[in-house]
Amino acid sequence: MVYTPLGPKPLGALRLGDAVLGSSGLPKEVIGVEDYSQLPVCELVFRDGSSTKCATTHLWTLHHPNKGWRIITAQQIMSWGATYRSQWALPLPQVSQFSPRPVPIDPWFLGVLLGDGSLHHKANGYEVATPAGYLGRFGAREDAREAALQSLEAHYGNDLIAESSNLLRSLASLGLRCVDHKTKFIPDEYKYNSEIVRKKVLCGIVDTDGHVTKRGVIVIEITSQRLAKDICEVARSLGATASIHAYSARREEWSNSYKVHIHHPDPASLVWLPRKRERAVPHNYYGRNVRDVRFVGFMDCRCISIATDDNLYLTDDFIPTHNSTKSGKTWGCIVWLTEQAMKGRRGMNYWWIAPIYAQAKIAFRRLKDALPSSVFSSNEGENTITLANGAVIWFKGSDNADSLFGEDVHACVVDEASRVKEDAWNAIRTTITATEAPVRLIGNVWGRQNWFYRMARRAEAGESNMAYHRIIAADAVAAGIINEAEVEDARRQLPETVFRELYLAEASDAGGNPFGLSAIRACVTTMSPDEPIVWGWDLAKSVDWTVGIGLDVHRQVCRLERFQMPWQETINRIHLLTGRTRALVDSTGVGDPILEALQRMGGVYQGFKFTSPSKQQLIEGLAVAIQRGEVGFPDGPIVLELEGYEYVYTQVGVRYEAVAGMHDDCVCALALAVHHHIGRGIKRAPKPIKRRVSRVLGGSAFGL
């Protein structure tokens, strides 16, 4: 689980752009998602009983009293002895900032009810579980009565008795009306709320069932295990460490009882009653030291990147964990380049080159996070890391080839080389001539029409001073990194061109086109004279075109409409052309109110929202239809856009887009029409003419 502003959320459900809580407790954006199959996984357990699972390559930021802060893999922690391991501790948690929301019962009063007795209807506590009735239970304890009165009047006003029935209904809505002392809990509406709500709930419980030791440690004794866990979670969300200790109850019918120990740098902030607050003095803060690390097996894993300065986010039990994993060819080459630089001296330069600056920044951040702070200095403006020996590692984008001339370079890595322009490689090649520097070119296969493909063929042919390494999905399966069933599932779902390149490292003639240039040309036919049975409408955005494509029963294009108009005229035009024919309409962004307007006018309109996953599914469905020859279209703008379309393999999956400077409105409209034709269960009638369809065996590189 990962904490978001609305509460915990499974890591597997996170998407790019989602907000999660960083170690500062503030919401931070997810800027990267990487999925891995069947990685070795271990479980880290900390001194307060909190725990979480991660890949053995996962990074952790830990502190040692003599060595300071270090970024360490879980595998390294597993290799330590128990005594040495216990000296390392997590960063101190900060107060988590959940989104505030209204609550039906005053949070301090709810804490009092949870801490003092049962809410079951047979218990005495239930008879006076009202704002007015509860004050009588404090008896002569004036300090408690005064604190309770202030809290309740602030929430309910002066007429406390009038709120009694409302309180009972509120307890019922929270699921607390008939719970007993062994099943009490803190509702999510209070656990994942503003700081003041969480503090008040905890204060109410401490004021009734808690006490403060001479050392300022808060101890709460209860008989509900669920409530004990909830108290720990709330305390940890407020910057405390909390642990649970079970012991035999004094009364036989109570089974077990639980003591919750809370250590907080300012314990007085968690206590309201004056007589208890006097003992809540600041004390030495106890961190969460590592207690144990144990291997648990192989599991599917997800790694996320967060837009934070310290690269930490909060996972299970508010554990601050690092946002990146050491894995893959990229990390291996980062290590290699660093090793080369460590052999150098002051004034020697080492380059990491990526297609664009933003991609180079990723490698820069990974290396900076992994190195001990004592062995390097960094320059964020220039993306450089200077090692203790004076050697400098530069992280550059290749989009401006002129910036790559004139420097002596002693080792270089070119990342995603198939997407680096040839003039950039020419510039890099001149910089290594005098130094005879070693170079590593890494990346996924992306067509044949690029310098990277030609270099790979020269190396594969055994040219001197060159080496070629091809890694495919079968190698990863044999190594136990991914599951063979997952590869077969990808084979069924991905277009053949994409699969063969990304999983088999077999370059296609299509040059990154997901449909296959030969397959596109094989589907070209004349415009069908028949009436459409489905429409696909892609709406204009900015300078784009609104495009509508109609398909007949043979899945041949029989209508093509392409125009730019104001929105109201666009709505009228779509409705006039579509009539009562079924239509799938782009409802992303401004498309949503347009879809609603069309539906009010009559007709059979359905919406389709474009997201990264939905667009991938849509385009891949069109690619399969084209490669199987199951769709026909006339030459012109449709063919032009299809041939100019490409896929990009990123760290978070496959992204489909038009090449720079071109539109993709016809591609999207055709994909919507094909998807609707298939989705409505319409069987394609036999083609009126027989024609040959050539398949294109494309593919993509798992790694080269």
Contact 290, 86 (CB under 8 A): yes
Of the two residues 248 and 78, the one the predictor is more confident about is: 78
Q: Give the per-residue pLDDT at 128.
A: 41
Range of lowest pLDDT (47-51, 107-111, 284-288, 684-688) = 684-688
Average pLDDT value for residue range 547-551: 96
Tokens found for residue 1? 């689980």
Rg over CA atoms, the chain: 32
Does the pLDDT at position 134 exceed 80?
no
Q: Give the per-residue pLDDT at 551.
A: 96
Of the two residues 182 and 353, the one the predictor is more confident about is: 353
Does residue 641 lie in a domain region? yes
Q: Give the per-residue pLDDT at 138.
A: 46
Does residue 126 lie in a domain region? yes
Of the two residues 660 and 21, the one the predictor is more confident about is: 21
d(CA 298, CA 501): 27
Does residue 423 lie in a domain region? yes
- Give the pLDDT band of residue 582 (cuts 50, 70, 90): very high
Contact 22, 312 (CB under 8 A): yes
Average pLDDT value for residue range 106-133: 60
Does the pLDDT at position 267 exceed 70?
yes
- Give the pLDDT band of residue 688 (cuts 50, 70, 90): very low
- Give the pLDDT band of residue 329 (cuts 50, 70, 90): low
Among 84-88, 210-214, 552-556, the range of highest mean pLDDT: 552-556
CA angle 458–461–462, rounded 5-degree value: 95
Does the pLDDT at position 668 exceed 80?
yes
Does the pLDDT at position 430 exceed 50?
yes
Q: How many CB atoms lie within 10 A of CB 274?
A: 12
Number of domains making up the chain: 4
Does residue 566 lie in a domain region? yes
- Give the pLDDT band of residue 294 (cuts 50, 70, 90): confident
d(CA 112, CA 561): 68
Tens-place pLDDT, residues 211-225: 888 888 888 888 888
Does the pLDDT at position 397 exceed 60?
yes
Cα separation values, 40 from 11, 139, 497, 600, 626, Å: 17, 59, 31, 55, 40
d(CA 348, CA 389): 10
Percent of the chain residues past pLDDT 70, beyond the cut? 80
Cα separation values, 211 from 88, 207, 259, 273, Å: 30, 8, 11, 10
- Give the pLDDT band of residue 602 (cuts 50, 70, 90): confident
Q: Examine the domain organization and report whether 538 and 657 are in the same domain.
A: yes
Q: Give the per-residue pLDDT at 692.
A: 37
Q: Which residue's entry shows tokens 């001990």?
A: 372
d(CA 282, CA 279): 9
Of the two residues 641 and 650, the one the predictor is more confident about is: 641
Does residue 167 lie in a domain region? yes
Range of lowest pLDDT (82-96, 145-159, 231-245, 651-665) = 145-159
Does residue 466 lie in a domain region? no
Last residue of a domain, one of 299, 321, 343: 321
Last residue of a domain, one of 392, 413, 443: 443
- Give the pLDDT band of residue 349 (cuts 50, 70, 90): very high
Contact 503, 490 (CB under 8 A): yes
Q: Examine the domain organization and report whether 240 and 180 are in the same domain.
A: yes
Q: Examine the domain organization and report whether 227 and 362 are in the same domain.
A: no
Contact 447, 506 (CB under 8 A): no
Mean pLDDT of the chain: 80
Cα separation values, 253 from 11, 126, 223, 227, Å: 40, 20, 11, 18
E strand or H helix at 312: strand 312-315
Average pLDDT value for residue range 27-48: 78
Does residue 130 lie in a domain region? yes
Q: Give the per-residue pLDDT at 286.
A: 56
- Give the pLDDT band of residue 559 (cuts 50, 70, 90): very high
Last residue of a domain, one of 443, 474, 489: 443
d(CA 611, CA 619): 12
Spatial CB neighbours of 231, under 8 Å, sequence gap ≥ 6: 186, 202, 205, 220, 222, 242, 260, 262
Q: Examine the domain organization and report whether 259 and 391 are in the same domain.
A: no
- Give the pLDDT band of residue 137 (cuts 50, 70, 90): very low
Q: Examine the domain organization and report whether 165 and 247 are in the same domain.
A: yes
Q: Give the per-residue pLDDT at 675.
A: 93
Q: Examine the domain organization and report whether 78 and 118 are in the same domain.
A: no
Q: Examine the domain organization and report whether 555 and 610 are in the same domain.
A: yes
Does the pLDDT at position 155 exceed 70?
no
543: containing domain: 517-679
Q: Give the per-residue pLDDT at 322.
A: 79
Q: Give the per-residue pLDDT at 152.
A: 54
Q: Domain of 386: which CATH number? A: 3.40.50.300
Question: How far is it between the farthest Cα atoms of the chain?
Answer: 97
Range of lowest pLDDT (9-13, 175-179, 254-258, 470-474) = 254-258
Provide the residue type at 642 as one letter.
L
Q: Do the strands 218-222 and 256-263 form a parallel or antiparallel pair, or are they unpaired?
A: antiparallel
d(CA 3, CA 314): 6
Q: Examine the domain organization and report whether 315 and 332 are in the same domain.
A: no
Q: What are phi and psi of 165, to 5 degrees?
A: -65, -35
Q: Give the per-residue pLDDT at 660.
A: 59
Percent of the chain residues past pLDDT 90, beyond the cut? 20
Q: Do the strands 604-608 and 582-586 form a parallel or antiparallel pair, or are they unpaired?
A: parallel
Cα torsion for 46, 51, 52, 54, to the nearest 10°? 40
Tens-place pLDDT, residues 497-537: 778 888 888 776 656 678 887 889 899 999 999 999 999 99
- Give the pLDDT band of residue 118 (cuts 50, 70, 90): low
Spatial CB neighbours of 638, under 8 Å, sequence gap ≥ 6: 549, 557, 560, 666, 667, 670
Q: What share of the chain is helix, strand, coil (3-state, %, to 5)?
A: 35, 25, 40
Q: Domain of 204: which CATH number? A: 3.10.28.10
Q: Examine the domain organization and report whether 316 and 332 are in the same domain.
A: no
Q: Give the per-residue pLDDT at 14.
A: 85
Does the pLDDT at position 438 exceed 80?
yes
Q: Domain of 316: which CATH number? A: 2.170.16.10
Average pLDDT value for residue range 303-312: 74
Half-sphere exposure of 134 (CA within 13 A, CB side): 31
Q: Give the per-residue pLDDT at 248.
A: 67
E strand or H helix at 202: helix 195-209
Q: Examine the domain organization and report whether 47 and 154 are in the same domain.
A: no
Q: Examine the domain organization and report whether 420 and 565 are in the same domain.
A: no
Tens-place pLDDT, residues 676-687: 998 765 555 555
Q: Examine the domain organization and report whether 246 and 116 are in the same domain.
A: yes
Cα–Cα nearest to 643, from 630, 633, 651, 653? 633
Q: Domain of 588: which CATH number? A: 3.30.420.240
- Give the pLDDT band of residue 42 (cuts 50, 70, 90): confident
Does residue 79 lie in a domain region? yes
- Give the pLDDT band of residue 556 (cuts 50, 70, 90): very high
